[in-house]
Amino acid sequence: MKVRTLRRRPAWPALNKHHKEIAKLTLRHLFDQDPQRGERLAVEAAGVYLDYSKNRVTDETLRLLLQLAEQSGLRENIDAMFRGDKINVSEKRSVLHVALRAPRDATILHDGQNVVPEVHAVLDRMAGFAVRVRSGTWLGHTGKPIRNVINIGIGGSDLGPVMAYEALRHYSRRDMNFRFVSNVDGTDFTEAVHGLDPAETLFIVSSKTFTTLETMTNAHTARDWLLAGFGGEQAATARHFVAVSTNAQEVAKFGIDTANMFGFWDWVGGRYSMDSAIGLSTMIAVGPESFRAMLGGFHEMDEHFRTAPFARNLPVLMGLLAVWYNDFFGAQTVAVLPYEQYLKRFPAYLQQLTMESNGKHVTRDGRRVDYDTGPIYWGEPGTNGQHSFYQLIHQGTRLIPCDFIAFARTLNPLGRHHDTLMSNVFAQTEALAFGKTEDQVKAEGTPDGLVPHRLFDGNRPSNTLLLDQLTPAALGKLVALYEHSVFTQGTIWQIDSFDQWGVELGKALAQNIIPELEAPSEPTLSHDSSTNALIRRYRKMKGAG
């Protein structure tokens, strides 16, 4: 199918016109008109219930958005991804994270070869290793079992593992410590190993390329720390370092036996890799069975995305709603608000997934876009956010669509805590949608002067995602839901959601400046005057020559 540029797809001008017609409609009015709206605009799949009724949409909006999806070639693009086409055009790569969670008997081709057996071979090796570490049969250099696992990685090789460990902490080995080092700031490493015995510590060096500055710096520091604990005995590293990478050559060069390397493939993007070998720390924490259950959850959502009609397809609907606010209402951000303490790192994880994927200014064929692409994602767990930034969401001047994420059953039943937590979810979405009118404020006996301050306009949109309980499978479903929502948005904007040239720039730039900071005598600087002055001042402050 030939996809036209965004503004030339018939649904785009139709949506523009429609937006002008309905922009003033209020959720109050929409709900009054249709008493069934709250049940009608909801969809449940793979055990995830999405209530999208509190969005500023009518049936006509949804009809037009679904048309836009069709006219954008979403169906064809989904098929192309699952088929292994090289849809990451700027890097000429397939995008096959869905293969990482495909069942053993599935067939997913990459360059004519079924990748599923390789995926399961790595999963089986990871499981074998995880079981040895967990059971205490993988011994450190002096014969002690491993009690501390430290993942060294950054970006896609860190955020997923950290988020998943926090999310699944309930299922994790409580007699082991799991820590994560990502920042090249030495404080990160120093604090991570604080109080640990090298003889009981395992480092997982996670890096797709095995050349990333931060990760390699931290890996070398980890090796020095370990060797210092073993009186410099080089052989000690063998039992205390394993690698997760696609680059066997660099792994060997670092000194890790490739027998202790867990591989993945160039068709897995960093931010789509938490369910690959990059999840080794997760698997050691929760065990292979729970890890596989998580993969099962991912797969269930993949199948839903691949097969469900768009009108009942959760990631498609969420993606379309994000486009609706971003491009027609001019909303610049989306707040993600998990009412689940274990998901405290989920917004940070989503920031990379969404913004690294869709923060692009050219189309796949290199034309500059003339519409807005990826919004800013941010958030914090509820109810904490309610006591800080929700003020702006309720009464500020900006429109901030929100995703509320909640679970019917808590993992930690404690008196009235969970009902109290959930009452806040429902109260917040209700207040955002319907606000508080002048009459209501006055009826509360509010003095006239205070009435404007206590008014809530309402009409602030939100999605509510309700799941049963935060299990490993539920986590997989949630992550896959957002992955595919990002895919839906990227398809509509016609961008490459799978490259990250902006990140590559940062990787190169700092390399040029390091020698200037470390030069024994004043180096000749040829940056702009601000950068030159900052470098000179820094050198002076640290007492360099």
Residues lying near ligand G6Q in the complex (CB under 6 A) are found at 154-157, 207-209, 212, 215, 269-271, 356, 500, 503
CB of 364 to ligand G6Q, least distance (A): 17
Q: Which of 19, 141, 442, 507 is catalytic?
A: 507
Return the half-sphere exposure (C-beta side, CA atoms, 13 A cut-off) of residue 528.
2
Residue 28: its H or E element = helix 27-33
Q: Which is nearer to ligand G6Q, 12 or 210 (CB)?
A: 210
Q: Which is nearer to ligand G6Q, 151 or 157 (CB)?
A: 157
Q: Which is nearer to ligand G6Q, 55 or 245 (CB)?
A: 245
Q: Which is nearer to ligand G6Q, 247 or 383 (CB)?
A: 247
What does the block give as tokens for 303? 């199948």
- By the 10 Å C-beta count (0-12 exposed, 13-18 middle, 19+ buried), 76 is classed as middle
CB of 505 to ligand G6Q, least distance (A): 12
Which among 57, 54, 38, 32 has a CA at the least distance from the CA of 431? Answer: 54
Taking CB positions, which residue lies at the least distance from ligand G6Q?
Answer: 155
Which among 284, 381, 289 has a CA at the least distance from the CA of 335? Answer: 381
Q: Which is nearer to ligand G6Q, 220 or 417 (CB)?
A: 220
CB of 541 to ligand G6Q, least distance (A): 29
Which among 229, 242, 257 has a CA at the least distance from the CA of 203? Answer: 242
> Phi and psi (nearest 5°) for 508?
-80, -40
What does the block give as tokens for 452? 């404007």
Q: Which is nearer to ligand G6Q, 165 or 407 (CB)?
A: 165
Residue 92: its H or E element = none
d(CA 283, CA 376): 31
Q: Which is nearer to ligand G6Q, 499 or 516 (CB)?
A: 499
CB of 241 to ligand G6Q, least distance (A): 16
Coil, helix or strand at residue 454: helix
* Pair type for strands 42-45 and 48-51: antiparallel
CB of 247 to ligand G6Q, least distance (A): 8
Q: Whole-angstrom distance between the N-terminal and C-terminal Cα of the chain? A: 64
CB of 273 to ligand G6Q, least distance (A): 7
**Over 236-259, what HEC string results?**
HHHHCEEEEECCHHHHHHHCCCHH
Sequence-ordered strand ranges (E) for 47-114: 48-51, 109-110, 113-114
Q: Which is nearer to ligand G6Q, 147 or 208 (CB)?
A: 208
Query: Is 436 a known active-site residue?
Result: no
CB of 216 to ligand G6Q, least distance (A): 8
Q: Which of 2, 92, 194, 387 is catalytic?
A: 387
CA dihedral 90, 92, 97, 98 (to 10 degrees): 110
List CB contacts of 491: < 8 A, sequence separation 6 or more: 69, 72, 73, 74, 77, 497
d(CA 29, CA 56): 11
Query: Is 191 a known active-site residue?
Result: no
Query: Is 438 a known active-site residue?
Result: no
CB of 97 to ligand G6Q, least distance (A): 11
Q: Across the beta sheet with 148-152, what order do the strands follow?
A: 177-181, 148-152, 201-206, 241-245, 261-263
Q: Which of 356, 380, 483, 516 is catalytic?
A: 356
List residues with catalytic annotation: 356, 387, 507
